[in-house]
């Protein structure tokens, strides 16, 4: 099958396709500051509110599941293993989820996965409430939720470009990230307080209720129909077609390869924060909590800044520059022994990370036509499943050398690889 049959405008390396013609249009009479301009589009606004519900539920789950696992097993190894298991379905099934997003009606797929998440979360809460929670229940629940997110994330990401016009796409992607990171700041601490006040089982019931909110938002949305992948071919053929399309497209190939850099070499810094809090900065458990919250604050600041600036030219340059800045900040943080300076650098780290991610996702959306967007986002989501591998690498390096030396080496690697991408990938300097 000729994968370039209707996308000749982007055959040339680095060229950027126009956003879908059926994207939502501005509603008259709606006035919002430029920072929130994409929220004037009703269907995107519903998706964004759903993101707040969804990410709140995810943070409740992450904290509650970790607490329950350690409470039942008392094993740090099993605690880490359960958290790692949540990424396995994303690593293995995200490309299949991307195929589903391109073959199926996207609203139905989003709604169906949310109903599934709501049902299994409520069932798991009942298991806990009746005193029947065991390690195998926790493992099964972690794997099932991972499968659901492997199908949900590509379709949610690929739908954004159909709900806003091209000029609002960067703003929409940035606001999506901002919504997630606002809940990242308050979600874990709120979940911990709720465990103490109402118990783990009730936390999971609340998470299930949050998914009801997501499903309600999706039910009200109108998602424009788009050109779909050929349904008369097998899923395997659709998957191969999508991978071949990415490989032959210089911009997409560079972006998806470059996306592995922060996941494997930068973001695992989070796993070493307890060491920095205890042995480097000497701030104890209270300081550890503040250190963990700082990147979330920076992420919100970074995404709101991007949302305010709006659409920019030379997105490829901004993308690589953000990644280079992330490497520099990581190097500086690794050498800091001052708590205030370390907090500032972590805020900067969160801002650089979100600047990179917002630009990368926007370029992916703009560069990819509707019929391939789900598969491209599915391949992009694989990198999220590699985060445990990066954490293992960071932990091994810290064990052999030290945590500061490990982060120093990781920051240098990020800086070297991003500089090489800028030097040897002219496509990123053009788009």
Q: How many angstroms from the chain centroid is the CA of residue 276?
A: 25
Average pLDDT, the chain: 84
pLDDT digits (tens, 9 = 90+) for 125-160: 999 999 999 999 999 999 999 999 999 999 998 899
- Per-residue pLDDT, 391: 80
Task: Summarize the confidence of residues 47-65 as an average pLDDT.
Answer: 87
Looking up tokens 């999506």 gives 176
% of the chain beyond a pLDDT of 90: 35
The answer to whether residue 108 scores a pLDDT higher than 70 is yes
Task: Name which residue leads in pLDDT, 12 or 280.
Answer: 280
pLDDT at 4: 35
Question: What is the predicted pLDDT for the residue at 230?
Answer: 65
Domains 38-220 and 232-431 share a fold: yes
* Res 18: pLDDT: 41
217: phi > 0 → left, psi -120 to 50 → alpha, else beta; which?
A: alpha
pLDDT bin (cut points 50, 70, 90) of residue 46 is: very high
Per-residue pLDDT tens digits for 188-245: 777 778 888 888 899 899 999 999 999 999 999 998 877 776 667 888 898 899 999 9
Which of 88, 94, 213 shows the shortest CA–CA distance to 140? 88
Q: Which of 26-30, 104-108, 124-128, 302-306 has the lowest mean pLDDT?
A: 26-30
Nearest Cα neighbor of 383 from 97, 90, 4 is 90
pLDDT given for residue 404 in this prediction = 94
Tracing tokens 């109903």 back to the chain, one arrives at 115
Which residue has better confidence, 75 or 354? 354
261: closest CA among 176, 319, 346? 319
Contact 19, 6 (CB under 8 A): no
The predicted pLDDT at position 2 comes to: 39
Cα 347 from Cα 295, distance rounded (Å): 5
Count of beta carbons in the 10 Å neighbourhood of residue 76: 9
pLDDT tops 80 at residue 310: no
Residue 57 pLDDT level (bands cut at 50, 70, 90):
confident
Pick the CATH number of 232-431 from 1.10.40.60, 1.20.1250.20, 3.90.1150.10, 3.40.50.11810: 1.20.1250.20
Of 152, 206, 170, 135, nearest in space to 302 by CA: 170
Instruction: Give me Rg for the CA atoms of the chain.
Output: 21
pLDDT at 1 over 80: no
More confident residue, 416 or 83: 416
Q: What is the structure's pLDDT at 212?
A: 95
pTM: 0.80
Q: How far apart are CA 364 and CA 303, in angstroms?
A: 17
Q: Which of 72-81, 114-123, 125-134, 215-224 has the lowest mean pLDDT?
A: 72-81
The mean-pLDDT minimum among 188-192, 199-203, 277-281, 330-334 falls in 188-192
Question: What was the pLDDT predicted at 12?
Answer: 37
Phi-psi region of 17 (alpha: psi -120 to 50; beta: other; left: phi over 0): beta
Residue 88, pLDDT score: 85
pLDDT at 17 over 70: no
pLDDT range class, residue 76, cuts 50, 70, 90: low
Which of 286 and 54 is assigned the larger pLDDT? 54
pLDDT at 367 over 90: no
Q: What is the average per-residue pLDDT within 288-314?
A: 81
pLDDT higher at 129 or 69: 129
pLDDT digits (tens, 9 = 90+) for 382-404: 887 788 788 888 888 888 899 99
- The domain 38-220 is classified under which CATH number: 1.20.1250.20, 1.10.10.10, 2.40.110.10, 2.70.210.12? 1.20.1250.20
Count the Cβ atoms, other than its own, within 10 Å of residue 189: 14
Query: 268 pLDDT exceeds 60?
Result: yes
Name the residue ranges covered by the structural domains of the chain: 38-220, 232-431
At residue 28, the pLDDT reads: 43
Band of the pLDDT at 31, cuts 50, 70, 90? low
Coil, helix or strand at residue 16: coil
What angle, 0 to 180 degrees and rounded to 10, lies between the N-to-C axes of helices 370-385 and 235-248? 90
**Residue 64: band (very low, low, confident or very high) from pLDDT cuts 50, 70, 90:** confident
pLDDT band at 323; cut points 50, 70, 90: very high
């Amino acid at each position: 099958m000729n994968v370039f049959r209707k996308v000749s405008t982007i055959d040339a390396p680095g060229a950027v396709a126009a956003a879908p013609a059926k994207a939502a249009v501005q509603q008259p009479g709606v006035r919002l500051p430029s920072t929130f301009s994409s929220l004037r589009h009703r269907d995107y606004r519903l998706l964004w509110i759903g993101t707040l519900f969804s990410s709140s539920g995810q943070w409740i789950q992450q904290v509650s599941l970790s607490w329950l696992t350690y409470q039942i097993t008392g094993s740090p190894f099993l605690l880490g293993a359960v958290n790692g298991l949540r990424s396995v379905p994303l690593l293995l099934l995200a490309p299949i989820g991307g195929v589903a997003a391109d073959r199926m009606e996207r609203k139905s797929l989003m709604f169906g996965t949310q109903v599934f998440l709501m049902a299994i979360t409520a069932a798991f809460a009942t298991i806990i409430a009746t005193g029947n929670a065991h390690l195998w229940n926790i493992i099964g629940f972690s794997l099932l939720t991972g499968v659901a997110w492997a199908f949900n994330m590509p379709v949610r990401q690929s739908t954004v470009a159909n709900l806003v016009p091209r000029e609002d796409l960067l703003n929409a992607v940035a606001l999506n990230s901002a919504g997630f990171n606002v809940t990242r700041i308050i979600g874990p601490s709120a979940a911990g307080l709720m465990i103490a006040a109402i118990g783990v089982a009730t936390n999971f019931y609340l998470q299930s209720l949050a998914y009801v909110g997501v499903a309600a938002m999706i039910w009200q949305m109108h998602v424009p129909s788009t050109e779909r992948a050929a349904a008369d071919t097998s899923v395997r053929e659709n998957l191969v077609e999508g991978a071949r399309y990415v490989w032959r497209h210089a911009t997409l190939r560079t972006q998806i390869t470059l996306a592995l850099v922060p996941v494997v070499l930068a973001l695992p810094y989070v796993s070493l924060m307890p060491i920095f809090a205890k042995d480097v900065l000497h701030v104890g458990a209270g300081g550890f909590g503040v250190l963990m919250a700082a990147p979330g604050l920076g992420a919100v600041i970074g995404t709101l800044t991007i949302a305010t600036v709006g659409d920019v030219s030379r997105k490829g340059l901004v993308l690589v520059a953000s990644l280079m800045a992330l490497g520099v900040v990581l190097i500086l943080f690794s050498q800091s022994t001052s708590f205030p300076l370390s907090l500032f650098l972590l805020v900067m780290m969160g801002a650089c990370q979100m600047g990179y991610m917002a630009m990368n996702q926007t370029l992916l959306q703009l560069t990819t036509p509707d019929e391939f967007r789900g598969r491209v986002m599915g391949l992009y989501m694989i990198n999220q499943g590699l985060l445990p591998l990066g954490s293992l690498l960071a932990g091994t390096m810290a064990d052999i050398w030290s945590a500061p030396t490990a982060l120093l080496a990781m920051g240098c690697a990020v800086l070297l690889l991003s500089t090489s991408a800028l030097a040897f990938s002219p496509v990123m300097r053009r788009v």
